[in-house]
Every structure is written in C-alpha cells, then in structure tokens.
Amino acid sequence: MEYFTYPLFAFMFMAALFTISNLSSELKRSNKLLEKIANHIGAINPPVSALEDEEFNLYISKQEKIKAIKRYRELTGEGLREAKDYVDSLFK
C-alpha cells in the first residue's frame, strides 16, 4: 500500500503546482489586459511623486526608514526592493 501512496501524493503535489503556475500566469495576463484598458480610457491616475507627499517627507526628515518605505510603496506601487533602494538613496 505504501508503494502507491507516495507516488500518488507526489503526483497530486505536482498537479497542484502546475495548476497554481497556470493560474498565476493567467492572472498576470489579465492584469496586463486590465491595465491596458484602464490606460486607454484614462482611468489610471499618474503616479504621485513621493517627494511631493508631506507624510513621506516627514518620515524622511525623522529618519524613519521603514515607514518611509511603506509610504513610498503606497504612493508608487513599487516593490519592496525598489522602495528600499529609493529610500536608501535619500539617506546617503
């Protein structure tokens, strides 16, 4: 019985990974399409410059890096790495 159980679990695991991968790809395609449609009809606001935001500038002046990174991500939609690199560049 054990000889059939392990391959069955391995097969189910691989099938689940394949399904998740396909869903992830489909979600990315859908998001790109929605972004194109939104840009076409003008539904997306241009990104706000972080340096124009009072709250962001307050965090920078108080040397609160983590809060500044969070605020930068909220304003721009950038990823964690990009936000951290940007905030770090302001502290140099």
Q: How far apart are CA 39 and CA 29, in angstroms?
A: 15
Domain ranges of the chain: 1-43, 44-91
Give average pLDDT by consecutive 10-residue segment, the chain, 92 residues.
82 95 93 83 65 89 94 89 92 80
Count of other CB atoms within 10 angstroms of residue 64: 14
Residue with tokens 């972080």: 50
Q: Are 41 and 13 in contact (CB under 8 A)?
A: no
Residue 88's closest CA among 72, 65, 59?
65
pLDDT of amino acid 77:
84
pLDDT of amino acid 44:
59
pLDDT of amino acid 43:
67
pLDDT of amino acid 92:
76
